[in-house]
Chains A and B, each alone.
Chain A
Amino acid sequence: MATPVAQEQRTLGFTEPGRPPLRTPRTSLKLRNALIGWTFILPNFLGFAVLTLTPVITLFYISLTSWNIFGAAKWVGLANFERLIGDKSFHTALGNTFYYALVHIPVTIVVSLGLALLLNQKLRGAAFFRTVAFFPYITSIVAVAVVWNMLFSPEYGPINQFLSLFVEGDLPGWTVSKDWAMPAVIIVGTWKDMGYYMLLFLAGLQTVPGELHEAARIDGANTWQRFWNVTLPCLRPTMFFVTVMVTIQSFKVFDLILVMTDGGPGQATLVLSQYIYQKGFEQFEFGYASSVAVVLFLICILVTVVQFLYNKRKEA
């Protein structure tokens, strides 16, 4: 970082008095390099700008209007946000989103890290089991939802038939019960995502230096102590990345819930992204839907910023 500034000063210093500073070959080379670099990023950036950045910026504007998609949007200021405060369905959706996220995030991290540690061992057939664990991630979400729904079927499903071997009395109603629908969705969400994050953790585990483990072992640290004091600190960059990804993904969960429970029974699994869809594309209240989207956006960005700050403090 220091070199370009120093060069700049040197260039200025060598300029003869009375003549405007000239561009030296070095700066024009730098400029050229930057231009070439930008050119390479351009196709990607154009796609991002047109398909993501513009809609996101427009979203903020639309959230301050009343718009049924046809004709001009009517400016209403903060009215949509005021309405959010008293909207019980929005509160339910917000609560459910946090319910899903707060359970799904830690469970997914623990399960995928556990799987990664297990499959990082020199185990016969480890490659096969890694593939098995990754498989749910690449399976179509609709197929996953249909099959799990059948497994969860309260009357004929294998899960409850299995549970009835051990449990007397009432069994969970899973996706058709107000209390059990969310746990059912979280179980499937975790099962589907764990393979992907396991893969990230596996990659992270390869970077943990063997010498550190060896040194710790010589010092008499047991397996748990070595995990806690060697593996986990070395995994921090991976852990950070995984946490950010899982968090954002959990807050914007949509497709899984839409196909598994459609937000039901009642509003038991209604989440923010589905509420946005309902308000926007089913009821044509795009202004109001956008204001919910803004709230979701702010939640995601707030959580991410907190995670970044925490990570930075740990890094320092």
Chain B
Amino acid sequence: MNRKIMSGVGLAAVASLALTGCGGQDEPAAADGPVTLTLAGWDFASTPEFETLADAYHEANPDVTVELKEYPAGDDYDTALTADLAAGAAPDVFIVKNLKNYVTFTEGGTLLDISDVAAELDPETGGLAPMAIDGATYAVPYRQDSWLLYYNKALFEKAGVDLPDGSWTWDDYAEAAAELTEGIGEKQVTGTYLHSWQSTVQGFALAQSGAPLDGGDFSFLAPYYERVLAMQDEGSQPTYATVTTNELTYQAQFGTQKAAMLPMGSWYIGTLVAEQESGAADTFEWGIAPIPQADESTTGTDATPVTFGDPTTMGINSGIDESKVETAKDFLTFAAGPEGAAALAGIGITPALIDDTVADTIFGLEGVPQDDLSRFAYTTHETLPENPVGPTTAAIQTILGETHSAIMSESTPVDEALAEAEERVANEVG
């Protein structure tokens, strides 16, 4: 009996070793025959963009098949992908999901230099230029969402407040939020909703002030925080405490008409259309306006409003089989170029390259607002990264994230919290 068990265990061990041994081998593909590229993505059931790009490319290049490899969604994507990269088992092409890890991936030698691909792309491609590190580019943006102001036309009319016209500064926005809250006059319904993320304050401040993230001086954040704190104190928006403890979601707040305005990324257009169709959100008329500006120099439809948004980028695994490099570069050129952009727009996703075809496709979707300002807001903006490419970005953002919760919960006064953040950056980030 004992011996039988032991030999059973032995067999199982040998079998599993043999199996894992097989899985680790790469099959070299001939350069001129059919090629299979592997692409890392996450949560395919609710994130159709990877399959869309793979199918569109295969249709244009029947010789090449793009095989998808699914990773977990959320922050686990980076963790799981990092483990595979370190083990040399990652796919040929992968998504650099969080811009703040781009430098780590590059320094780790996991990304191939694809400056030639970047040179071929339209220079108008959103987020492309900041990807260069010392003149070389290692990943190219294929989608880029920008932050916009969503508003509920019905609630504006009810409160008797003028609709946004593209000329708003943040002070105009704060004033409108207060008027809306009062004009609507319902408990639980507020003029605007600001989600708990640090980017909802810091992203705008960084982009619109033009200050560097790693300059060691965070005073550029102060006016933005003071305005937001005043707004939550006067009840123009739910307080940070309520948002976090009650796990409020921006989809429910705006979608079920609990808030008349919502600063949010352009990805929400697709979500809102889908939720209105499925009934998860109320049916009401809405629009998109440019995000409010720091001052009047960038307001109005004859100027280009400044907003923020990180591009989602794609790079080539440096461990890729050499015979596949050219194919992989071609795939990246396709995905980040006009053809990939058109394919993405077809499923309601905002590509990094917004041309007329993309705008026509997005605004041709049923349920998307048709007014001129919405189209202007969607197509015209200077979008700066929330996480500028740099070796200290990840560490600074962690510190600023803690600063955000300290200020917004009103645990620490703005100046004190910012001074502490400056001190910590000097002390801990080197």
Contacts and interface: CB of A to CB of B under 8 A. Distances in A.
B79 interface: yes
Contacts of B101: 284
B234 to A, nearest CB: 15
Interface stretch (A5-13, A113-121, A262-270, A299-307): A262-270
Contact of B245 (A36, A70, A175, A284): A175
Given A153-B242, A156-B246, A69 B82 contact: yes
Given A155-B242, A173-B241, A284-B101, A68 B409 contact: no
Chain B interface residue number, banded: 35 or more
B231 to A, nearest CB: 16
Interface string B79-107: 10010011000000000000001001101
A39 B109 CA distance: 44
B108 A68 contact: yes
A178 B417 CA distance: 12
B86 A69 contact: yes
Contacts of B403: 266
Contact of A282 (B86, B108, B247, B394): B394
B402 A264 contact: yes
Nearest to A280: B79
A313 interface: no
Nearest to B245: A153
Contact of A284 (B242, B244, B394, B402): B394
B108 A71 contact: yes
B243 to A, nearest CB: 10
Contacts of A176: 240-241, 244-245, 409, 411
B244 A89 contact: no
Nearest to A36: B2
Contacts of A177: 409, 411
Contacts of B402: 263-264, 266-267, 270
A17 interface: no
B428 A150 contact: no
Interface residues of A, number: 40
A239 to B, nearest CB: 37
Contact of A153 (B110, B241, B406, B408): B241
B154 interface: no
Contact of B411 (A42, A178, A282): A178
Contacts of B405: 262, 264-266
Contact of B424 (A39, A89, A146, A262): A89
Nearest to B394: A283
Contacts of A69: 82, 86, 108
B395 interface: yes
Given A68-B107, A176-B411, A155 B247 contact: no
Interface of B: 2, 6, 9, 78-79, 82, 85-86, 101, 104-105, 107-110, 239-242, 244-247, 394-395, 398, 402-403, 405-406, 408-409, 411-412, 417, 424, 427-428
Interface of A: 36, 39, 42-43, 68-71, 86-89, 146, 149-150, 152-157, 173-178, 262-268, 270, 278, 281-284
8 contacts: A42-B9, A68-B107, A70-B85, A70-B104, A156-B242, A173-B409, A264-B406, A266-B412
Given A176-B245, A281-B79, 16 more contacts: A36-B2, A39-B2, A70-B107, A87-B428, A150-B245, A150-B246, A153-B246, A154-B241, A173-B241, A176-B409, A178-B409, A265-B406, A265-B411, A266-B403, A270-B402, A283-B398
